[in-house]
């Protein structure tokens, strides 16, 4: 079915609920089900090739041979409530519902919701294990709940599913609630190399983390074909079994697993892809793997590049072009010609990502899972889309492919990760970020923050603005959003994409280091309107392993800390209106890899421009601190004890 969006004006516009749309102007000409394993190209596995993994479902079936099952449960905030998202392979036959209450012994309320689905490839009807597939996605919202209150809930049986256990969640604290809280912040988390991070994340949940905030690159489903790609010098992984080559640092024993008979050294893992050799199965298994977290605390997500489509690029011999465009297995092509139409329709335009999560875009004036915001206690959190919906975004809309001409592009004018826009572009002015709905929403959202209630404002997108690993996209996202964030006194900007941990010095406009805000290497003060703290937090672990900096380039002066060898995640702790701390938790269990204390100067959370700047917006003379460096350090030390 052809997209209902305005032809050429956008790929592809969606409503605030972000119901995915896909352009099918040109037919898909690849295999019925792409499988990243030449030895075993079957949906259910034939015992050869890469192993087919199994992850426990969210609900254990009551029978040995279930006909339907609740395989994933995931929580997410909505204003004054909670969205309970759950997934099944087949429909429920009735509206989805949840029983709930303030006591586990008295679930006296019932809420109903709605179901959505998509024609995934392969459909769950082709998957032998009912407990390993999701195709129907159910949303039930509990609203008008009390803040900071524990509620209990249970998903009833329907159309062959088994009733869930009684589970619980705690609602968000009201804006202005001054009690300390902890957030688990992570980016770029797949399955391979992420086992240690996973263990530490679960410990953080058990220790009382309020919610998890995952800044894109979720599951690495699009690396399903990694086991097909021959090793190459410019790629960090060559899986050879006992002679596997990966960047230095944490080294999972799985890399020493001998290659299955018939498989060749490749860019993948001992599972072929990150966790599976089928795109949709990567998603299924990963979601089931982490559901012990997602069913207990809200798991807030935003888009990364790996959610866009079934693949990003080809490899040696252009084997993927031959496979997806011509249905030629274990073959080659003269050149890489992957287009938007190379993936199966269900694996384009963030379709899986949009169905498999439910963020509060609609409730906060944003768009679906693409951009939204929420308050928790003393902080306002903003999830941005760093992949689409601004000028020169990394993933392109059709209007850019046609160079501004409002018409359907030719297939060869498109690229495989073309996506969006998910909001409107005024007058198709795609080269002007201010014409995009995302920018307009962000400006309005930040202007509306009540800093007397939420003095801290944190923004995250998948793409960094600064790094010692310089790339053109960084200049584009800075040009699009940096001035707006500084103008609205944002305290910190978190990102991922680069697979390492990197903390910058406080950064002013256009790469200026705000030295006056540096108390010491582990303590910064805020400087509203002048600088922000920037952290690249992309080290959770995935099949692509660590990023490494070319030794010839060297670390840039903007970088305070760079760790290219450890996996893990970060803890953000909001202690009070004046102090937050950030810790890089090492996935190997050996402790803390980095820590930062961020301290607000008195009267620095208002809507004014903060300390003076030059006429070019570069940090100028530092205003006097409202407290001495000694008192700042004493305060920080007290909270870190």
Say how far apart CA 610 and CA 598 lie, in whole Å.
16
Say how far apart CA 115 and CA 101 lie, in whole Å.
23
Say how far apart CA 623 and CA 625 lie, in whole Å.
6
Smallest Cα–Cα separation from 352: which of 282, 400, 405?
A: 282
Q: What are the structural domains, with CATH classification, of the chain?
A: 172-640 (3.60.21.10)
DSSP H or E run through 475: helix 472-477
> What is the token pair recorded at 80?
């004054």
Question: Which regions of the chain are under pLDDT 70?
Answer: 1-20, 603-641
Tell me, yes or no, if the pTM score tops 0.85: yes
CB 462 within 8 A of CB 394: no
> What is the token pair recorded at 352?
């899986």
So what's the pLDDT on residue 498?
98
So what's the pLDDT on residue 622?
37
Say how far apart CA 530 and CA 486 lie, in whole Å.
6
* Strand, coil or helix: 431: coil
Beta-bridge partners for 109: 100
Cα dihedral 243, 244, 247, 249 sign? negative
Query: 326 vs 273, 343, 491, CA distance in Å?
Result: 21, 12, 50
Cα dihedral 633, 574, 606, 174 sign? negative
Backbone angles phi, psi at 478, to 5 degrees: -65, -45
Say how far apart CA 418 and CA 415 lie, in whole Å.
5
CB 556 within 8 A of CB 517: no
So what's the pLDDT on residue 9?
31
Beta strands in 205-270 (DSSP E): 211-214
Angle at 639 between CA 147 and CA 454, to 5 degrees: 35
Per residue in 253-295, pLDDT tens? 999 999 999 999 999 999 999 999 999 999 999 999 999 999 9
**In sequence order, which residues have a C-beta less than 8 Å from that of residue 237 and are 6 or more positions away?**
231, 244, 245, 246, 267, 268, 269, 543, 544, 545
Q: Residue 559: how many CB atoms within 10 A of its CB?
A: 19
Backbone angles phi, psi at 638, to 5 degrees: -60, -40
Say how far apart CA 277 and CA 537 lie, in whole Å.
27
So what's the pLDDT on residue 226?
98
Q: Taking the mean position of all CA atoms in its chain, how far away is CA 437?
A: 21
So what's the pLDDT on residue 242?
87
So what's the pLDDT on residue 510?
87
């Amino acid at each position: 079915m052809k997209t209902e969006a305005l032809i050429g004006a956008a790929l592809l516009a969606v409503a605030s609920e972000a119901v995915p749309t896909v352009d099918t102007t040109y037919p898909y000409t690849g295999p019925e089900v792409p499988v990243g394993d030449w030895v075993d190209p079957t949906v259910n596995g034939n015992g050869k090739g890469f192993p087919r993994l199994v992850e426990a479902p969210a609900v254990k079936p009551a029978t040995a041979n279930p006909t339907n099952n609740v395989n994933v449960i995931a929580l997410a905030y909505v204003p004054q409530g909670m969205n309970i998202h759950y997934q099944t392979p087949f429909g429920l036959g009735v509206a989805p519902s949840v029983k709930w209450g303030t006591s586990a012994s008295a679930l006296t309320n019932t809420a109903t919701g709605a179901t959505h689905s998509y024609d995934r490839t392969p459909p769950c009807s082709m998957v032998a294990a009912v407990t390993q597939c999701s195709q129907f996605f159910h949303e039930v919202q509990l609203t008008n709940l009390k803040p900071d209150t524990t509620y209990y809930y249970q998903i009833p049986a329907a159309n062959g599913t088994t009733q869930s256990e009684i589970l619980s969640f705690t609602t968000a604290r009201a804006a202005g609630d001054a009690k300390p809280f902890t957030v688990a912040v992570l980016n770029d988390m797949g399955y391979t190399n992420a086992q240690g991070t996973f263990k530490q994340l679960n410990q953080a949940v058990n220790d009382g983390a309020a919610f998890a905030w995952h800044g894109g690159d979720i599951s690495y489903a699009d690396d399903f074909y990694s086991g097909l790609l021959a090793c190459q010098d410019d790629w960090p992984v060559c899986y050879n079994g006992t002679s596997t080559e990966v960047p230095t640092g944490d080294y999972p024993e799985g890399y020493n697993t001998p290659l299955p008979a018939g498989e060749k050294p490749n860019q993948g893992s001992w599972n072929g892809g990150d966790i599976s050799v089928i795109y949709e199965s990567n998603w299924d298994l990963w979601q089931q793997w982490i559901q012990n977290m997602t069913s207990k605390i809200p798991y807030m997500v935003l888009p990364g590049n790996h959610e866009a489509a079934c693949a990003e690029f080809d490899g040696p011999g252009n084997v993927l072009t031959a496979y997806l465009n011509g249905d030629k297995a274990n073959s080659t092509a003269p050149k890489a010609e992957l287009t938007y139409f190379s993936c199966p329709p269900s694996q384009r335009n963030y379709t899986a990502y949009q169905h498999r999560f439910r963020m509060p875009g609609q409730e906060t004036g944003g768009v679906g899972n693409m951009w939204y915001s929420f308050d928790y206690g003393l902080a306002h959190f903003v999830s941005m889309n760093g992949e689409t919906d601004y000028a020169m975004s990394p993933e392109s809309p059709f209007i850019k492919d046609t160079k501004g001409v409002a018409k359907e592009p030719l297939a060869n004018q498109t690229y495989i990760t073309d996506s969006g826009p998910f909001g409107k572009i005024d007058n198709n002015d795609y080269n002007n970020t201010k014409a995009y709905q995302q920018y307009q929403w962000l400006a309005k959202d930040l202007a509306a923050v009540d800093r007397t209630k939420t003095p801290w404002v944190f923004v995250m997108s998948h793409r960094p603005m600064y790094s010692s690993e310089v790339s053109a996209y960084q200049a584009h996202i800075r040009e699009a959003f940096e001035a707006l964030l500084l103008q609205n006194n944002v305290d910190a900007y978190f990102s991922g994409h680069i697979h390492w941990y990197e903390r910058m010095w406080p950064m002013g406009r256009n790469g200026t280091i705000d030295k006056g805000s540096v108390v010491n290497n582990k303590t910064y003060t805020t400087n509203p309107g002048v600088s922000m703290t920037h952290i690249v937090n992309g080290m959770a672990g995935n099949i692509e392993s660590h990023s490494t900096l070319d030794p010839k380039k060297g670390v840039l002066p903007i970088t305070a800390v760079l760790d290219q060898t450890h996996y893990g995640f970060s803890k953000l702790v909001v202690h009070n209106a004046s102090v937050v701390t950030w810790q890089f938790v090492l996935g190997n269990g050996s402790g803390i890899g980095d820590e930062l204390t961020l301290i607000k100067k008195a009267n620095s959370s208002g809507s004014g421009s903060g300390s003076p700047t030059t006429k070019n917006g570069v940090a100028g003379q530092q205003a006097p601190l409202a407290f001495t460096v000694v008192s700042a350090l004493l305060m920080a030390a007290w909270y870190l004890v």
